Amino acid sequence: MIDLRRVMDLWRRCDVVVRDLPFGLLLAVASLLPSLHGKGTQVGDLPVRPFDALTFVVIALECLPLAVRRRWPAVCLALVSLGFVLDQIRAYHVLASNAMPIALISAGAHLERHRRVAVLLLSAAYLPLAVALGRLGATEKVEGYVVFYLALALAWGIGAWLRSTRAAEAERRRHIAEATRAAERTRIARELHDVVTHHVTAMVVQAEAARYLTAAPDRLDATLSAVTDTGRRAIADLRHLLDLLKADHDTDVRMPSAGELHQLVEQTRRAGQPVEFTEEGSAAESAGSAEFVAYRVVQEALTNALKYAHGSRTAVHVHYGEKEIIVEVGTGPSGSRAGAPGGSGRGLAGLRERVDALGGEFSADQRAGGGFVVRARIPTGSPS
């Protein structure tokens, strides 16, 4: 049994000339049928003349160039126009003369250069054709020649419209591709920021603290162990992120979730940050992306606490509701130079985008008495 899908696929892979040739051949064969003699496009109303040797040349000029109507539209239009002129002057009126509007549509759609020159040359050639037909005894009135010219112009206009539509579609797809690439780059940068910044900040803080613990070997060993654990977790998270970037990645690749908040808080405590963590309720099965975003909010807020309020009391509160997750992370006053989240602002901007994408609300503000507070309301039920 013939596989039609495979046949169509092979046909689409063929060169455009091969795909356009059958139509020209079919039109040429149909033009030789006696029953279709005199059924072609005509102007001037000259009496139909019987076939002679030149008829076959005319049919060949009008039909065979259609094979290159998309590859070389100017060549196709020139040859078909020549055949059409001969056909009208000799009054064969073969079916093949219908190739003229087809060639005009193809040229209007596919001709890349010298389009205005082509239009001017064709328009200039039409007047001598009308004069020649008149001298041969054509009964067509001036109005008829004008209408026929407008019909030819319409054929060209259809091709030009197809060309502009195709160009607009290509431009739309290009913009979509650029927007998709930009969104993907933003997503990758955001994930890298979330993964790297938190772990590296914790490692830097722990390493700084280790410099002052040389007189307490036990505490020094615990601090260095915390640095090692943080580094290993960073490597593991980066590996998971790289797995997601693979083209053939598994859709079940693990992503951080709110269920891992306890580990995140404990890691921050080992970095020397006093964190008070309270959790109300439990994440619903339909929490989806909201759970992941809640994790990122807490992670970024704790990172900022380590960087700009190190050593100050930090409170993390997560409330799981039926339709939303509410996260609040705040710090007390800090003796450091910066008492509120600062830096490049990329992390907070990324959080705002994540929360907004789910239809939630996000804010990061300084407290009147010092420190800062980050709040997020994240609707649940979004797909992961």
Q: Return the higher-pLDDT residue of 328 and 306.
A: 328
Q: 92 and 47 in contact (C-beta within 8 Å)?
A: no
pLDDT score at 268: 84
pLDDT score at 153: 94
pLDDT tens-digit readout, 243-268: 766 656 554 445 555 557 888 888 88
* 58 has pLDDT over 70: yes
**Which range among 83-97, 177-191, 282-296 has the greatest average pLDDT?**
83-97
Q: 266 and 302 in contact (C-beta within 8 Å)?
A: no
Please report where in the chains the tokens 């020209």 appear, as a residue. Answer: 24
pLDDT score at 323: 86
Query: Element (H or E) spanning 151, and its range?
Result: helix 142-192
Residue 109 CA to residue 90 CA, distance in Å, equals 30
Give how far Cα 205 sits from Cα of 7, 227, 267, 299, Å: 66, 9, 12, 15
pLDDT tens-digit readout, 9-49: 888 888 889 998 999 999 999 999 988 888 888 888 888 88
Q: Which are the contacts of 330, defined by CB distance < 8 A and separation ≥ 6?
A: 314, 315, 367, 371, 372, 373, 374
Q: 361 and 325 in contact (C-beta within 8 Å)?
A: no
pLDDT score at 317: 93
* 129 has pLDDT over 60: yes
Integer-rounded Cα radius of gyration of the chain: 38
Please enumerate, as own/partner, the contacts of 17-26 that have beta carbons within 8 Å and a separation of 24 or more. 17/67, 17/68, 17/71, 20/66, 20/67, 20/68, 20/69, 20/70, 20/71, 21/66, 21/67, 23/66, 24/63, 24/64, 24/65, 24/66, 24/67, 24/99, 25/63, 25/64
DSSP 8-state secondary structure symbol assigned to residue 382: B
pLDDT score at 102: 94
Q: Which segment of 30-39, 43-52, 84-93, 281-290 scores lowest on mean pLDDT?
A: 281-290
Phi, psi (rounded to 5 degrees) for 323: -120, 0
Q: Tell me how many degrees the CA angle 19-105-37 measures, rounded to the nearest 5.
A: 80
Query: Element (H or E) spanning 22, and its range?
Result: helix 16-31
Instruction: Summarize the confidence of residues 273-301 as an average pLDDT.
Output: 83
Q: Is 367 left (phi over 0), alpha (psi -120 to 50) or beta?
A: beta
**Which range among 6-20, 55-69, 180-194 has the greatest average pLDDT?**
55-69
pTM strictly above 0.85:
no
DSSP 8-state secondary structure symbol assigned to residue 252: T
pLDDT score at 341: 42
Instruction: Summarize the confidence of residues 59-74 as an average pLDDT.
Output: 93
Q: Return the higher-pLDDT residue of 206 and 125.
A: 125
**Which range among 112-116, 181-185, 197-201 has the greatest average pLDDT?**
112-116
What strands lie across the sheet with 275-280, from one edge to the other?
A: 275-280, 314-320, 324-331, 372-379, 361-366
Q: 374 and 301 in contact (C-beta within 8 Å)?
A: yes
